[in-house]
Amino acid sequence: MKQRILVVSHGHPDFSLGGAEIAAYNLFEAFKNNDDVEDTWFLARADRGRGVTGQIHKRRDNEYLWEQGIADWHLMKSAHQESITTWFVDLLKSLKPTVVHIHHYAHIGLEFIRAIKKYDSSIKVYLTLHEYMAICKHNGQMVKTGEGMKLCSSESFDECRGCFPEHTAEDFWLRKHTFKSTFDLADGFISPSEFLRQRYINWGINENEIVVIENGQSNLPPLEPRAIQEDETRNRFGFFGQVNPYKGIDILLEALRSMTKEERKQVLVEIHGANIEAQSGEFQTKIKKLAKKLIAEGCLRWVGPYRPDEQRNRLQEVDWVVVPSIWWENSPMVIQEAFTAGRPLIVSNIGGMAEKVDDGVNGLHFSARNPQSLAKVMLNATSKTLWMELSENIEAPISYADCAIEHLNFFN
């Protein structure tokens, strides 16, 4: 039987360029081109400044926007409850999906998952987990609040109270029960990394119900190496992504600062990042202060945000991609994008980053949160022979089409 698939995301790439939103939309596009799919649609939460009306609007053919939000982040309760049992269920009646594939429930809430099964229990529901939000209230990062942002390796109701003292241990028990009872309605789960899969198995998902499928990428050929003179080194490093406290951009800038002036002359770092203006004033001040002297010295370029269609041109001008995140990450989209472009990576040695990048094979690891360790690895990486060796070992990531096939095999 050919499937009719509704893909649900917490954002639309037209408005929000996060990795999960882009992965969800790319998979939707791949389903459209698969002969085993009768029809497919994309439903994304929209925030267009009109408040939470609950309305569902057509964006373009087979694409819809839902003006939904969250009233209670602790229990992930939807802000517009009535629209779940009216307009959302009306959409299900109209589209008649056989599968609803959910890429996120943030900004939407959990209740719509239950509404799907209540309307028609034969509709299969699958959930792709992009981080640890069900396990950790702190933005799903499994990082403690407060100074230092220490890493967590598992849930603990008492330790959760340390981050959120306004809640009791019983509150956190209720939170887990709310998430778990909703997740129990799903027919299966997809994780883009084995690391995240194991975290959720430890939390309570049956190991036979969660599989690893990496996010798909374009099947474009690798980029040519950056053109350099014979006496030049592979010394250009690029940071791509969100500029926020979890992505470790301060670690990268501190690594530069820890080098001697002569060592800094040997490297050039480019920041291709967005949304620093959305961060706290304290974080902005810290980053801008670190960057100012380095930019003046010539070892740092703040290039700024980019559109997805601009990324390959920017990757062409760097040798290495640096992912210095201070949290576990799952499967940062930038890792697969760098591999598609044929660029080796330097990554923190934790979580999905350590899983996806094989140290000394297709990239390099440094000790997470350690600027001196990152500085040492960057200086060693300027070797032409090392870059060539690692870049030749890069294997192309799974394509959009093959990613869709793996999903359909799991759905069937």
pLDDT level of residue 341 (50, 70, 90 thresholds): very high
* 3-216+400-411 matches 236-392 in fold: yes
161-170 mean pLDDT: 94
Sheet (strand 320-323) strand order: 300-302, 268-274, 236-242, 320-323, 345-348, 363-366
Q: Mean pLDDT throughout 131-159?
A: 91
Average pLDDT score over residue span 16-40: 93
Q: Which CATH superfamily is domain 3-216+400-411 in?
A: Glycogen Phosphorylase B; (3.40.50.2000)
What is the phi/psi pair of residue 197, to 5°?
Answer: -55, -45
For the chain, give every domain's residue range: 3-216+400-411, 236-392
For residue 50, pLDDT over 80 is answered with no
Residues 305-320 as b/e (b if ≥16 CB within 10 A, e otherwise) read: eeeeeebeeebeebbb
Report whether pLDDT(48) > 80: no
pLDDT score recorded for residue 18: 80
- Pairwise CA distance, residues 48 & 321, whole Å: 33
Q: What is the mean predicted confidence (pLDDT) over 167-190?
A: 97
The confidence score (pLDDT) of residue 19 equals 83
259-287 pLDDT tens trace: 999 999 999 999 998 888 888 899 999 99
Lowest-confidence segment of 29-38, 140-149, 245-254 by average pLDDT: 140-149
In this prediction, residue 49 has a pLDDT band, given cuts at 50, 70 and 90, of low
Q: What does the pLDDT average to over 245-269? A: 96
Residue 127 has pLDDT above 70, yes or no: yes
Tell which wins on pLDDT, 338 or 278: 338
Structural domain 236-392, CATH architecture: 3-Layer(aba) Sandwich (3.40)
Q: Give the predicted TM-score (pTM) of the model.
A: 0.93
More confident residue, 384 or 368: 368
pLDDT (mean) for 209-234: 94
CA distance 211 to 190: 5
